C-alpha cells in the first residue's frame, strides 16, 4: 500500500481496502518533508479539484517551492467524473485540500508562502460540483490512495507529471470499473424482479385454470401447488398486516375520533377474515401444508394448534395488555377464554379420535383388501380438512367476540397488540435462524440479525407506549 | 348421553314413530328432549360435538342416523335443514335448530349457547 504512494502506480486500482483509517498509518510512509503535517489539520468546505489538477499538470506548470509542491499534491485528486461515485475518504480529502488551498487566505501555520497560482484557479472550480454525500463504497477505493497520498504526502523533489497522469488514469479506470459493476448488479436485480413477477403471474394463471402439479411435490419440489399458492397469498397478507398495524399505531397516537378508529378496526377485522378464507381454500387443496404449519415461521409452528394459533392462549396473553377493563368486560373476556378452551378441547378430542381411527384402519389393512382399506383411510384423512376449518372458525369467532366486548379504542389497542405480538414472534424466528453458530458468521446473517433486532426494538418501543 | 337407534340394541326402549316423513321425524325427535344431537357413530366431528356438550355439564340425546334404517332420508333432510357441509352433527336445543358444528362453536363463543341451554332447562348454574 505504501509502495504506490511513493510513486508506483502499479496496484492503484486494486487498492479497494485503503480507507480513511489507513491514513494515519500511511502518513509516515508518505512524508517526504517533515513540515507537511499542517495539511492534516486544516478544515474547510469541500469542492472539486479534479479539473484543477488536470489543468495544472497538463499545462506543465512547474511548481518550484516546497509549499507550492505541497499544495499541488494536496490538490491532487482524480478527475471530476469520479465524483459520481464518491466514497468517504473523498470528503475527508476535500476537507483538507480545501483547507490547504485556503491556507494562504487564512494564514495558518504553513500559510506564509501563499500559492497565488493555486488560489486564483481555485475560485471558478470552487462551487462547480458540490460533492454528493459519499456512501462507504469499496469501489472507489482506488481513488483513495492517491488522494490520501496527495493529502498526506510530501511531494518528491520534482513532481513527475507522467506518474501523476498514470495514476489519474488508473483512478479513472477503477471508478469506471466500479460503475460498470454497479450497473451490472442493478441490471441483475431488475431481471430478477421481472422474473419474479412472471412466476407470480404463472402461478396465478395455473391456479385459475385449476392445474395441480401432483400434491406432495412430485413435480414441484417440496410443496404442492396449493401450498405454494397459499404461501404466496399469505406473504402478501403479511405485508398487508404490517400496513394495517402501522395504520392502527398512528391512528392511536394521533388520537383520532371513534368513528375514524372504527373504520380502521373494521378494516383489520376484515383483514383477518380474509386470511381465514385463504386458509379455508388452502385446506381444500393441501390440508397437510396447513396442519403441519409449513406456512408459518418456526417459532409460530412451535405453538401451533390445529393449523394456527390457539385462541385461548391469545386471550390469556391479551388480558393483562388490555388494562383498564370494566368489571363486565373482564368477566366477558374471561368467559370468552373459558368457552374457547372448551371448544378447543372438544376439537382436539375429535381429532384424536380421527387419528386413532386412521391408525386402526391402516394397521388392520389386509393384503387382499388393501385397495378398500386405502379408500377408507383416504376418506378418513379427508376429515382433517373439517377440523382445520373448525379451528379457523373458532379463531375467527374469537376475534369477532373480542371486537364486540371492547370499546373501539380498546379494540384498536387490542388488535395492535395482537399484530405486534405475532410480528415479534416472526422476528424471533428469523433471529433464531440467523444466530451465530460455530465460529463462522456470514456477513449477511449478522446484518440480518441487526436489522431484525432493530425491528424488534422498534416494535418494542411502539408497544411500550400503550 | 342417551342413544336412540333404529335397530334393537339400545339403552332406551325404542319409540317406533308412525310418521314416515323424515322432516317430521326430526322435528319430533328434536322436540322430545332439551338437547338433541343427530350424529354418525363413525364421524369424528360428531364426537367433538358430544364432547363439547359433556364438558358443559349437559347430557344430550344422540341419534346415530347411520344406525337408523331410514338414516339416508334423515341425512338428506338434515342437510336441507341447515344447508351445511355435512348432515351431521346437527344440534337442536329446546326443540329449536342450532345448526352444524360451526354454528354451535360460534354460538358458544358469543355466549348464546349457554343462555339457550339454560332456557331449555339443560343447565342450572
Q: Is the dihedral of CA A61, A64, A70, A73 positive or negative?
A: positive
> Which of these, A423, A418, A400, A404, lies nearest to A269 by C-alpha position?
A400
Chain A positions touching B44 (Cβ under 8 A) are 350-351, 353-354, 357, 383, 387
Find chain A residues with C-beta within 8 A of B56's C-beta: 342
> Which parts of A102-224 fold into alpha helices (H)?
103-106, 116-126, 141-152, 161-208
From residue A365, how far is each of A156, A457, B43, B124 by CA, in Å? 94, 55, 20, 47
Coil, strand or helix at A37: helix
pLDDT exceeds 90 at position A25: no
> Is B109 in Cβ contact with A342 (below 8 Å)?
no
Q: What is the DSSP string of A341-367?
A: HHHHHHHHHHHHHHHHHHHHHHHT--S
> How would residue A61 be classed by pLDDT, with cut points 50, 70 and 90?
low
Does the beta-carbon distance from B45 to A387 stay under 8 Å? yes
Gap between the Cα atoms of B69 and B79, Å rounded: 18
pLDDT score, position A64: 52
Q: Are A306 and A388 in contact (CB under 8 A)?
A: yes
Give the tens place of pLDDT for each residue, A150-198: 444 555 555 678 899 999 999 999 999 999 999 999 998 998 898 888 8
Decide if A185 contacts A85 (C-beta within 8 A): no
pLDDT at A109 over 70: no
Would you place residue A224 in the very low, low, confident or very high pLDDT band (cuts 50, 70, 90)?
A: confident
Q: Is the pLDDT of residue B43 over 50?
A: yes
* A47, A98 contact by CB (below 8 A): yes
Instruction: State the average pLDDT over residues A58-78.
Output: 51
Q: Give ipTM to 2 decimals.
A: 0.87
| Distance between CA atoms of residues B117 and A291, nearest Å | 33
B45–A350: do the CB atoms touch at under 8 Å? Answer: yes
pLDDT of residue A218: 43
Q: Touching check for A277 and chain B: CB below 8 Å?
A: no
Asked whether the beta carbons of residue A346 and residue B49 sit closer than 8 angstroms, the reply is yes
Torsion of CA A407, A409, A411, A416, to 10 degrees: -170
CA atoms of A98 and A129, how far apart (whole Å): 13
Which cell numbers in the block locate residue A411? 379494540
Secondary structure of residue B92 in the 3-state scheme: strand
User: Is A340–B109 a contact, with Cβ atoms under 8 angstroms apart?
Assistant: yes
Chain B residues inside the 8 Å CB shell of A336: 109
Closest CA to A36 of A78, A90, A99: A99
Mean pLDDT of chain A: 73
**Within 13 Å and on the Cβ side, how many CA atoms surround A380?**
20
What pLDDT is recorded for position A9?
A: 44
Which residues of A are less than 8 Å from B111 in CB distance?
332, 335, 339, 401
Average pLDDT over residues A384-405: 96
User: Which pLDDT tens digit goes with each residue over B60-108?
Assistant: 999 999 999 999 999 999 999 988 889 999 999 999 999 999 999 999 9
Using the Cα atoms of residue A457, residue A459, residue A465 and residue A466 in order, give the sign of their dihedral: negative
Q: Which comes out higher in pLDDT, residue A43 or A201?
A: A201
User: Could you tell me the maximum CA-CA distance found in chain B, to the nearest angstrom?
Assistant: 40
Question: What is the per-residue pLDDT for A260?
Answer: 92
List, as one string, the DSSP characters of B56-91.
TT---EEEEGGGSTTHHHHHHHHHHHH--S-S-SEE
* Residue whose C-alpha is closest to residue A229's, from A249, A253, A206, A260: A206
Can you tell me the distance from the alpha carbon of A83 to that of A90, in angstroms, rounded to the nearest whole number? Answer: 9
Reported as a single tens digit per residue, the pLDDT across A305-330 is 999 999 999 999 999 999 889 999 99
Report which of residues A353 and A156 the model is more confident about. Answer: A353
Q: Which of the residue ranges A364-378, A404-418, A439-453 would you say has the lowest mean pLDDT?
A: A439-453
Cell numbers for A226: 396449493
Contact state of A353 with B47 under an 8 Å Cβ cutoff: yes
Residue B121 has pLDDT above 60, yes or no: yes
| B contact test, residue of A343, A390, A404 with most B CBs within 10 A | A343
B56: nearest CA in chain A?
Answer: A342
Q: Compare CB distances from A349 to B48, B85, B106 and report the shortest one's residue.
A: B48
Q: How many helices (H) and strands (E) does chain A have?
A: 19, 0
Q: Which residue has the higher pLDDT, B8 or A455?
A: A455
Q: Is the dihedral of CA A433, A437, A441, A442 positive or negative?
A: negative
State the first-to-last Cα distance of chain B, in angstroms, to the nearest integer: 19
How much is the average pLDDT of B35-61? 95
pTM reported for the whole predicted model: 0.59
A237-280 residue pLDDT tens: 999 999 999 999 999 999 889 999 999 999 999 999 999 999 99
- Greater confidence (A70 vs A425) lies with A425
How far is Cα B32 from Cα A245, in angstroms, rounded to an integer?
A: 51
Helices A225-253 and A408-433 sit at what angle, rounded to 10 degrees? 130
pLDDT of residue A205: 78
Q: In whole angstroms, how far apart are CA A197 and each of A8, A186, A278, A415?
A: 50, 17, 21, 32
Q: Pick the residue with more confidence: A267 or A69?
A: A267
Q: Given CB atoms, is B103 within the 8 Å cutoff of chain A? A: no
Q: Which residue of A has its CA nearest to B107?
A: A397
Residues in chain B with CB shorter than 8 Å from the CB of A357 are: 42, 44
Q: Could you tell me where the DSSP H helices lie in A209-257?
A: 225-253
Interface contact A139, partner B, CB < 8 A: no
pLDDT at A30 (0 to 100): 45
A55 or A459: which leads in pLDDT: A55
Computed on alpha carbons and rounded to an integer, the radius of gyration of chain B in Å comes to 14
CB contact under 8 A, A343 and B109: yes
In this prediction, residue A222 carries a pLDDT of 58
Cβ distance of A339 and B111 shorter than 8 Å: yes
Nearest CA in chain B to A397: B106
Better pLDDT: A361 or A329 = A329
Amino acid at each position: 500500500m505504501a509502495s504506490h504512494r511513493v510513486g508506483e502506480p502499479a496496484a492503484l486500482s486494486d487498492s479497494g481496502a485503503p480507507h480513511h483509517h489507513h491514513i494515519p498509518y500511511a502518513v509516515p510512509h508518505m512524508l517526504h518533508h517533515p513540515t507537511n503535517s499542517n495539511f492534516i489539520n486544516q478544515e474547510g468546505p469541500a469542492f472539486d479539484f479534479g479539473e484543477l489538477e488536470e489543468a495544472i499538470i497538463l499545462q506543465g506548470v512547474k511548481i518550484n517551492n516546497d509549499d507550492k509542491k505541497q499544495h499541488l499534491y494536496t490538490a491532487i485528486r482524480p478527475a471530476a467524473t469520479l465524483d459520481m461515485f464518491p466514497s468517504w475518504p473523498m470528503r475527508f480529502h476535500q476537507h483538507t485540500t480545501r483547507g490547504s488551498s485556503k491556507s494562504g487566505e487564512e494564514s495558518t501555520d504553513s500559510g506564509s508562502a501563499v500559492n497565488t497560482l493555486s488560489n486564483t484557479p481555485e475560485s471558478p472550480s470552487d462551487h462547480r460540483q458540490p460533492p454528493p454525500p459519499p456512501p462507504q463504497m469499496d469501489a472507489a477505493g482506488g481513488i483513495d490512495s492517491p488522494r490520501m497520498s496527495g493529502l498526506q504526502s510530501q511531494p518528491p523533489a520534482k513532481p513527475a507529471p507522467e506518474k501523476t497522469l498514470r495514476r489519474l488514469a488508473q483512478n479513472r479506470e477503477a471508478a469506471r470499473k466500479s460503475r460498470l459493476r454497479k450497473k451490472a448488479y442493478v441490471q441483475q436485480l431488475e431481471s430478477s424482479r421481472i422474473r419474479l413477477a412472471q412466476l407470480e403471474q404463472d402461478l396465478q394463471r395455473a391456479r385459475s385454470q385449476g392445474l395441480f402439479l401432483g400434491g406432495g411435490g412430485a413435480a414441484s419440489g417440496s410443496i404442492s401447488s396449493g401450498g405454494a399458492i397459499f404461501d404466496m397469498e399469505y406473504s402478501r397478507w403479511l405485508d398487508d398486516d404490517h400496513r394495517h398495524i402501522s395504520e392502527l399505531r398512528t391512528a392511536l397516537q394521533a388520537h383520532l375520533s371513534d368513528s375514524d378508529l372504527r373504520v380502521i378496526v373494521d378494516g383489520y377485522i376484515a383483514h383477518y377474515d380474509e386470511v381465514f378464507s385463504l386458509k379455508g381454500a388452502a385446506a381444500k387443496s393441501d390440508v397437510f401444508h396447513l396442519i403441519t404449519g409449513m406456512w408459518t415461521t418456526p417459532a409460530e409452528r412451535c405453538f401451533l394448534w390445529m393449523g394456527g394459533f390457539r385462541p385461548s392462549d391469545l386471550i390469556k396473553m391479551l388480558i393483562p395488555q388490555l388494562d383498564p377493563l370494566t368489571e363486565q368486560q373482564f368477566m366477558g373476556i374471561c368467559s370468552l377464554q373459558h368457552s374457547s378452551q372448551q371448544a378447543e378441547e372438544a376439537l382436539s378430542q375429535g381429532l384424536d379420535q380421527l387419528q386413532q381411527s386412521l391408525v386402526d384402519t391402516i394397521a388392520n389393512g389386509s393384503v387382499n383388501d388393501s385397495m378398500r382399506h386405502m379408500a377408507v383411510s383416504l376418506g378418513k384423512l379427508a376429515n382433517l380438512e373439517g377440523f382445520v376449518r373448525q379451528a379457523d372458525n373458532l379463531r375467527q369467532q374469537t376475534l369477532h367476540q373480542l371486537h364486540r366486548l371492547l370499546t373501539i379504542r380498546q379494540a384498536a389497542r387490542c388488535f395492535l397488540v395482537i399484530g405486534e405480538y405475532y410480528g415479534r414472534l416472526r422476528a424471533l424466528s428469523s433471529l433464531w435462524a440467523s444466530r451465530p453458530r460455530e465460529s463462522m458468521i456470514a456477513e449477511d446473517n449478522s446484518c440480518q440479525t441487526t436489522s431484525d433486532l432493530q425491528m424488534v426494538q422498534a416494535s418494542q418501543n411502539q408497544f411500550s407506549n400503550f | 348421553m342417551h342413544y336412540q337407534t333404529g335397530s334393537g340394541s339400545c339403552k332406551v326402549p325404542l319409540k317406533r314413530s308412525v310418521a314416515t316423513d323424515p322432516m317430521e321425524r326430526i322435528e319430533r325427535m328434536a322436540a322430545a328432549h332439551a338437547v338433541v344431537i343427530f350424529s354418525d357413530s363413525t364421524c369424528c366431528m360428531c364426537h367433538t360435538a358430544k364432547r363439547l356438550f359433556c364438558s358443559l355439564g349437559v347430557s344430550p340425546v344422540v341419534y346415530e342416523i347411520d344406525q337408523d334404517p331410514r338414516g339416508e332420508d334423515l341425512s338428506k333432510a338434515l342437510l336441507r335443514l341447515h344447508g351445511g357441509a355435512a348432515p351431521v352433527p346437527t344440534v337442536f336445543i329446546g326443540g329449536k335448530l342450532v345448526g352444524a358444528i360451526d354454528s354451535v362453536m360460534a354460538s358458544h363463543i358469543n355466549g348464546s349457547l349457554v343462555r339457550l341451554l339454560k332456557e331449555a332447562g339443560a343447565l342450572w348454574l
